[in-house]
Amino acid sequence: MPSELPTRVHIVEVGPRDGLQNEPEQIPTQGKIEFIQKLCAAGLPTVEATSFVHPKAIPQLADSGDVMSQLADVGDTEIMALVPNARGLERAIAADLKRIAVFTAASDAFTQKNINMSVAKSLDVFSDVVAGALAGGMSVRGYVSTAFVCPYAGEIDKSRVRDVCEKLIAMGCDEVAVSDTIGAAVPKDILGTVGHVLESIPLDKVALHLHDTFGTALANVYAGLQLGVARFDASAGGLGGCPYAKGASGNLATEDLVYFLDRMGIETGVNLERVFEASSGIAKVLNRVLPSKQWQRMRAIVPK
Ligand code: MG
């Protein structure tokens, strides 16, 4: 284990995709675009903007093509979108994306319910998607959901997680997002499972995607930092949950993560106030209070 924590962390903002995908009321395309642009202006180095999933599967993201074509002023931010299959890749190519993400899990029970195939089958499907993306000059991230606990199968063996990560890297992904989909992990799990993954995969290819269901997300960030992990996903305002994982609350909030890292003296390049402004904009569209502790605190002290 490295004796010193990383001095800089790369935050992958997943709010516009992972955060908004479960919102039942259709959000106007323009509201999504403004949200993304404000997140870019806040200095987030990567923003997952949307998903090229079939419109019927996730109606909220049916306007992904329009979001991408109307997106401007993203500055230096790298825009990424989720791609579930060959058709999604065609749409991502048409949208001129440079980075995509594919989504599998460490639990067959989860992928069966979620994408209606086994983990092995999903890796088969994705190997073609990844090959196509790489041939088109894109880079690819791979999500490994339910890397700690699956809502259907319980605790997941760390060797299983490493195996899926290795297969994603072997097919050409440059990053695996080891994901605590239902937020059930504690630092011991991070040290055990991610430590095991890091025995075969380089540090700069490993990201952590955490949820705060039980209030353990920042403790898990700290465990990841202790392992040297320097790439973390977060969702502005703490938006999102998981449609296939009952009881899963929001993603780790970007504001909470940025506050924590700022106070730890770890650079992110992200401006907390501007993330708050972005979240406040989408909170207005959604007409509700967001779960992030920092967002709520700032909302109380910042004149509206
Ligand atoms: Mg999530």
DSSP 67-126: HHHH----TTPEEEEE--SHHHHHHHHHTT-SEEEEEEES-HHHHHHHHSS-HHHHHHHH
Three-class secondary structure of residue 20 per DSSP: coil
Question: What spacing in Å lies between the alpha carbon of 301 and ligand 1's midpoint?
Answer: 28
- Least trusted range by pLDDT, from 19-23, 45-49, 154-158: 19-23
Mean pLDDT of 159-164: 98
pLDDT tens digits, 44-68: 999 999 999 988 888 999 999 999 9
From residue 40, alpha-carbon distances to 12, 50, 217, 236, 250 in Å are 11, 14, 23, 12, 21
pLDDT beyond 80 at 249: no
CA of 210 to the centre of ligand 1 (A): 7
Q: 244 pLDDT exceeds 90?
A: no
Section 154-179 average pLDDT: 98
Confidence band, pLDDT 50/70/90 cuts, at residue 191: very high
Does 246 have pLDDT greater than 70?
A: no
Distance 209 CA to ligand 1 centre (A): 7
The catalytic site residues sit at: 242
Residue closest to 100 by CA, chosen among 24, 146, 46: 46
pLDDT at 243 over 70: no
What does the pLDDT read at residue 66? 94
Domains of the chain: 10-301 (3.20.20.70)
pLDDT surpassing 90 at residue 206: yes
Stretch 77-90: mean pLDDT, rounded? Answer: 96
Closest by alpha carbon to 204, among 141, 246, 146, 257?
141
The rounded distance, in Å, linking the Cα atoms of 84 and 252 is 23
242 C-alpha to center of ligand 1: Å?
Answer: 6
User: How much distance in Å is there from the Cα of 131 to the middle of ligand 1?
Assistant: 25
CB 200 within 8 A of CB 162: yes
The alpha carbon of 303 and the centre of ligand 1 are apart by a number of angstroms equal to: 30
d(CA 176, CA 169) in angstroms, rounded, equals 7
- Rounded to the nearest angstrom, the distance between the alpha carbon of 241 and the centre of ligand 1 is 6
First-to-last alpha carbon distance for the chain, in angstroms, is 45
pLDDT, tens only, 29-45: 999 999 999 999 999 99
The single-letter DSSP state of residue 172 is: T
CA-to-CA dists, residue 37 to 158, 234, 272, 277, angstroms = 38, 16, 15, 11
Instruction: Classify 50 as helix, strand or coil.
Output: strand
